[in-house]
Amino acid sequence: MQKIKVLIVDDSALVRQMLQEMLSSHPQIEVVGSAHDPYMARDMIKQVHPDVLTLDIEMPKMDGISFLKNLMRLHPMPVVMVSTLTEHGADVTLQALELGAIDFVTKPKLNLAQTFESYTTEICNKVIMASKVTRGTLERQYTRFSNNQLARPKVESSPATISEKYDADVIIKKTNVIKKPRYAETIIAIGSSTGGTEAIKEILMRLPATTPPIVISQHIPAAFSGPFAQRMDSVSEMTVHEAKDNQPILQGHAYIAPGDKHLLIEPVGGKFICRLNDGPPVNRHKPSVDVMFRSVAQNVGNNAIGIILTGMGADGAKGLKEIQEVGAPTIAQDQKSSVVWGMPGEAVKLGAADFVLSLDQIAYKILALASK
């Protein structure tokens, strides 16, 4: 089997060495070179023809964002960003995903003794996944970015946990829910992972301020969910928040789960509130889409609309089925418009999706379903 060729771009010799050791430990991956700045990387791309690039954000001579913009315009290829867990690092990483980077990992710590295995698993999985993304997908992503830039002057995945893999029962027990009468208030529930930050943006940009409330679980580190919510608020007519415990759920507002908490929906006095849960990861993710979807199915019933977007793995597929089983409409993003057709693909296999739609159709379907 042909190995995935990876080029590492980072200004730190130590980080380059660490990344090379981690990636080279996987039998499917071959590190074909490393570059200390974008100019050297540009020349090496022509020489070694890598399948995937790992790219540092902050480098001398040219920053990672400027290099990525040129790369996606002239020679689109899969890129996994290497980011710092800071507010600035989060904002710049979200810009990189906007430009077409497939995913990101956080900068490895110098002392990896306790987390080496989990970090190696994460970065290898993301490189392998990135290698499967087609050039057409990258070109479509960059085209969307370019069009959005013209229209507005004005952004995954949480590291996998190697602990026992829990399902949603560890947070919220499944009950035999009877289909409920339709309430006055609709709640829209969206789950996503790899590629989801941009998919969520494309949907929120198309929704008016009168849209029913939206709850969102996106696989993202805790340091990134706040900046992500701020970024979404700046491009949407809706008001977008990083969800807080006991926060009322209101029309025209969207609530994004914090990157280290599960988001549940709870009825209180005829209204709904956000409830944050600090329990263990579910499907190795926190927040988990399955947890949020089960909460929506059991508490909102057939007044919900469930949507699963691009993402690696299967988190959310079973939960979407539970939403469907209580009589609520469900949507899965189609394969062509997904960066990774893992989560929505699994939902389709389960028969959990009433509608399988391209990304640019989903906002319109939401409004049509909510008006019924």
What is the mean predicted confidence (pLDDT) over 124-150? 81
What is the residue extent of each domain of the chain? 4-151, 168-370
Superfamily of domain 168-370: Methylesterase CheB, C-terminal domain (3.40.50.180)
SS3 271: strand
Stretch 272-280: mean pLDDT: 96
In angstroms, how far is the first alpha carbon of the chain from the final one? 52
Respond yes or no: is residue 193 known to be catalytic.
yes
**Average pLDDT value over all residues in the chain:** 89
Better-scored residue on pLDDT, 142 or 29: 29
Using the predicted structure, report yes or no on whether residue 105 has a pLDDT greater than 70.
yes
Domains 4-151 and 168-370 share a fold: yes
Q: From CA 131, how far away is CA 128, in angstroms rounded?
A: 5
Percent of the chain predicted with pLDDT > 70:
91
As a whole number of angstroms, the distance between CA 15 and CA 224 comes to 22
Is residue 219 annotated as a catalytic residue, yes or no? yes
Interior angle at CA 222, CA 307 and CA 191, nearest 5 = 5
Among 26, 219, 241, 285, the active-site one is 219
What CA–CA distance (Å, rounded) separates 307 from 316?
9
Q: Does 103 have pLDDT greater than 80?
A: yes
Q: Which of 193, 225, 236, 288 is catalytic?
A: 193
pLDDT of residue 112: 67
118-132, 135-149, 195-209, 282-296: range with lowest mean pLDDT: 135-149
The CATH H-level (homologous superfamily) assignment of domain 4-151 is: Response regulator (3.40.50.2300)
Catalytic residue among 10, 315, 334, 337: 315
Q: Which residue matches tokens 């969910």?
A: 225
pLDDT at residue 113 in the model:
67
pLDDT at position 184? 60
For 143-188, the pLDDT digits (tens) are 777 776 533 333 333 333 334 578 899 999 888 755 454 456 899 9
pLDDT score at 154: 31
pLDDT of residue 123: 94
- In total, the chain counts a number of residues equal to 372
Supply the pLDDT for residue 109.
73
Residues 6+ positions from 321 with CB-CB distance below 8 Å: 347, 350, 351, 352
Two structure tokens written together for 125: 């999985």
For 21-46, write each residue's pLDDT tens digit.
Answer: 999 999 999 999 999 999 999 999 99
Mean of pLDDT values over 99-125: 83
Q: Is the pLDDT reported for residue 91 higher than 70?
A: yes
SS3 304: strand
In the prediction, which pLDDT does 256 show?
98
- Name the band, by pLDDT with cuts 50, 70 and 90, for residue 213: very high
Mention every residue, 6+ apart, whose C-beta is less than 8 A from residue 222. 258, 259, 260
Q: Which of the two residues, 134 and 124, has the higher pLDDT score?
A: 124
pLDDT, position 151? 38
pLDDT reported for residue 178: 53
Given this model, what pLDDT does residue 64 score?
Answer: 87
pTM for the model stands at 0.89
